[in-house]
């Protein structure tokens, strides 16, 4: 697994707050975001109490939530404006196929990384392989296929610039928008 460097640009873009008891300004944290390293997207997260079941393990459906967050972040960082397309009535992505394998459990307070990579691109579809890791250990991995749909739920061609972005990622090209 790739070691992730600190994000100076992220730190610099945080809002600053000055504490009345302190004479220095401190950055406020920004929402969690991932990063592309070459053609793979890395999305960090932490397991919270709400993610676990009575046994203290991550509830199985929450791995799907982690993967969804990572995919949404990956698209946002790749300049694929899902919200804009939704608001303009152009279309949205919907999951059409999902295969998931649970290998090991995650526990409360674990630091996890969701690693995503594009594996196939079609006129109206995209497939992404995702793995949830704790360090070098793969906890869960899955393959997700999505289709671009009209607001009425019918398949529609993805915007050409989006197909180009997915194709570059699928070929393993370094991607830095």
- What b/e sequence results for 140-172 when a residue is b if at least 16 CB atoms lie within 10 Å of its CB, and e otherwise? bbbebbbbbbeeeeebbebeeebbebbebbbee
Cβ proximity of 144 and 95 under 8 Å: yes
Residues contacting 127, CB < 8 A, separation 6+ = 118, 119, 120, 121, 143, 144, 145, 146
Name the H helices within the chain.
8-13, 60-77, 82-87, 160-170
Compute the distance between CA of residue 89 and CA of residue 120 in angstroms, rounded to an integer: 25
- Cα separation of 102 and 126, whole Å? 23
Active-site choice (51, 53, 143, 164): 53
Phi then psi dihedrals of residue 132, to 5 deg: -105, 120
Is 53 a known active-site residue? yes
Q: Give catalytic residues, as residue numbers.
A: 53
């Amino acid at each position: 697994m790739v070691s992730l460097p600190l994000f100076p640009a992220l730190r610099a873009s945080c809002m600053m707050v000055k504490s009345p008891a302190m004479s220095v300004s401190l950055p406020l944290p920004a929402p969690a975001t991932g990063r592309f390293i070459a053609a793979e997207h890395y999305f960090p997260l932490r397991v919270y109490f709400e993610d676990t079941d009575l046994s203290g393990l991550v509830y199985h459906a929450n791995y799907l939530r982690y993967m969804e967050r990572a995919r949404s972040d990956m698209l946002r960082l790749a300049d694929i404006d899902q919200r804009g397309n939704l608001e303009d009535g152009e279309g949205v992505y919907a999951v059409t196929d999902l295969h998931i394998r649970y290998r090991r459990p995650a526990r409360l307070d674990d630091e996890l990384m969701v690693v995503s990579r594009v594996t196939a691109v079609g006129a109206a579809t995209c497939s992404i392989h995702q793995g949830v890791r704790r360090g070098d250990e793969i906890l869960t991995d899955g393959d997700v296929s999505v289709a671009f749909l009209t607001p009425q739920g019918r398949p529609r061609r993805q915007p050409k610039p989006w197909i180009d972005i997915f194709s570059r990622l699928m070929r393993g090209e370094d991607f830095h928008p």
